[in-house]
Structure 1
């Protein structure tokens, strides 16, 4: 027989060659008269038998008694009841199950329907056409889904356990090693950690790991993927015949099989994608149910677009990082984290955009999609190769021992793009989009803008203005413009993205949900917080309904809604929502994922605002330690949480503890990002603030003036980031009693803010309020009044009456009224 007919070696390979029960065939087992032996394996032997009442032929499986202790026997009896609930035409019925004594003590048995026919592998040899094989597999998946819905996982799906009867109907056999889906932990632990149950070539990575807590229905989905691969390619995904057990485990858990389309070129595109998704190492990347797998197979059979998609650029980067750990320096690892965080959400819209596209002409759609899939695969290969070379450039041997920063690696990659992809605008657009998103994650907004502008231009040239890839490129560009405070330009791009998607996609299209989320974030930056909160709330509801409650897009929308609540002063609501997002990210992404750490930092910030310092401080410190470990000590996100921890210490009078943190942030930013970077500006401004609190006012003034000079070289007055150091310097001059100088500075700042920032933008409100207070102190009450009155009204409208900034603004206005009555100075 050929490779497709090889059933695969059982896991228990340390046993005898056959691994069978070492006893004679019994004549009778309870109500069953044994006729002959049908086969056997490591778990037991199957006999053809006759049941007395009712009179019928059965397949009787006797388990190996040495595999069962008393506790496991009790568990077997419970699970036998579950097996009896399986009533599906694709599953051989379980008639009876229990224990008997055949001279070797209590022996579990299962009596099941006897199905005449051939194994699935034998059937496939005479039905080699992929459509026939996949149609059969969809029916098998239907039966598996029924078992899952009844609470049973098979755990040993393979061609030898699937019989095709004379009517070409598949029947799944042998649920004797199955496990209850809702198995409680005490019973689940009876399958000891590290114990193998199943047949190795068909076992999922988590099943091989031997952790019963990690095993769920998606393990059976993986086995279906192995079966599909084997029947279509004529070989198993991994050749395990000549390997040791340890090497076999390594291959299955770590190495990707050859793409199906490489072995069978006719299967490139959708079929390769479907099988590849079922075979994903990580359960979260597989089809989440056998029903989902069956549905995508039928979409392909019906010449409809499938819902699976090839591996993304972000996933490619992650795998490259994993495979080049010895070569990739810390800076490159940081780059990967930035790419995954910054690119993931932008790429999501592109990945999901084709999900609802329906073909008009059935005879053309298959070919069109095949060509499109091949084109996308070619793009992915080119991008992967380019990025792989970029990562290898971080190898200390390749760089002659030089210490490379993240920016060095990205700059080198960016320099290599020009001329690298002649006649391939789609590939160049994808590479530049990735680089632009990475620059954005590093805070290098001008470089990000340059790359993203070209990515959008190339996408427009290659795909047209309405293509989802073009829209996605413009969306990310719009977010970079938002980062720079160029709100009018950002509004044009982001609103246009929403309009184009609304015109061509259903209202629950994932790409549209993401575009609306980006527009909501712009509203936050514009100070339109009520509008932003409502948009984030709607986006989160839509994402929950369409993508699921734990989808990254859903959690991002909820995170942004929580941030808006915090800005508005709804600290209680922000805390509750941030805790929800943090718990979901810990559960779905793990405790050390960058987005999980992002939520940890956000929760600590909310707790700090609520005065829960004893809870906020350790959370900051834990997040800081994790970011240092995962992202590196100089990563921008590491410095963000370090800066937040320093702020907490400063606010609580622990200036001595805060000072080394503040200096570390400043030195790190200068070292990793350079002296003229927005994050370096923030660190310098914070250092000046600390010096002021320490009473070192002359040093603080010099530091503020350095920050003002740096801000003017990076930004102009149209950017919100230009204002904080200017306002802080003016406030220090006010504190020093130099009121004329301070008032003049504030007046200039107010004029610029009113000319460049939206009316409700928070920096503008703060500057007008600070200026009004300075003018009040200088005795210029008529000039102070409109500034204090107007800023208070806007604080109340944007932040609410009880927000600390609103309360402070109200106190300042009351001081003005007292001065007008002659009651104060």
Structure 2
């Protein structure tokens, strides 16, 4: 089929893989001039009832998967049929993902606990979105997980998913009792022909066990052996297989591998939060970390003293520090700038706050005392619109109305390298990725640019999609998303590796404003500000769209600017 043109626009280039249902090809979209992946029914499916079922299953995959719009689910671009060797063959056009399957990665052995937590959280996010849409995947396994070079995870092949609605369950291909899945990852209830969303969590538990130990929780010689083990045997603790795994990981995995679905995590969103708390868990002896209890799904709620929020109001040039858990200020105002402070950033350890001002300077403050540290940083020739610390705290990036970005050593107050130039308008926002390898900048030229802070060189092409000035850009905690906000009060989500938008825009309240804010440890929150004489600031978790903490009543109608500290005290639930 090489070089064949599908749908009059997709020219097949090379075969990427083959599975029980279809073949996947890299193709060239001749209309848009981009590379895509095209999945077609395997020509080995044949005709007759077997071929008809394979065709029906393929078409159902297209309809179900196309309903999902999530950065961790492969994006469906198009669906059609083509004539191949006398047959009408349906095909699915998907985004082309560079990287490798998790199955290939696991053939090299166990992964680090950090990678297992990061990747597992992204898989959980994809499942949460699917479950909310009434879709159960039913075949979570390494070959259905793809890892891009950026660390972004994509969940593939919802082709055997069960849509939990009356119309879908009427489909003979998805009726209860029809067992579909991979035996070595199959939940007990799914083995009995009764899959449910919790079955995906069980399969993910098997996958996480394999990721951190290098082997599956159960060993068997055949399908019957695997199904019997899932139904009757207790799994070992991961630390019994691989010494040194913390107790928190044992608890999480064994919770997922409960025989009873209701004893697992209440949903995929709760599992995602638990995994993200384990991202920084060291590979140390058992007992080194704690795990949040498996309570019902609740909004993230900070505790008093856990975070600081910095605000700057209007043209005062004054900064205040708040506790978002109580909504109360915690110090006297920080004064010293002679112009409006537009943006602020906490250092990764929360000890310092950097502020940029209309007076063209950048200042550093001790958060514990509110005292100024050293001399102001000077070099910009116009208003400093934004400041950001690198994740290791060794660099400070600043963006200015002079259309440049500067890098500084915050310990010495000296510039690092030459200014970064390329934007055709004022630079309004700067943000580092969680691993420090990317710097994102937003501008009045309506674009977002990515840079390598080590070299000062641009990475890829500008991200184009906003229709007004880009007022904010922050990365998600795993670096899989870049969240940007423009003057039209719209929040966009981007895949920084692909340079493409994902999902739907998020628009602000009618009587107020929308924005985004991120802490140095990459907790990203959406901010809504109700307008009027007594503005109220509300923080939201962008993943769950649930409130974070209590509202802040600022008692002002003047413009408000925000910064969020890293977590100061460890919370256990």
TM-score bracket relative to the smaller structure: 0.3 to 0.5
RCO higher in structure (CA 8 A, sep ≥6): 2
Which of structures 1 and 2 has the bigger CA Rg? 1
Greater share of helix: 1
TM-score (norm 2): 0.45
**TM-score, L = length of structure 1:** 0.32
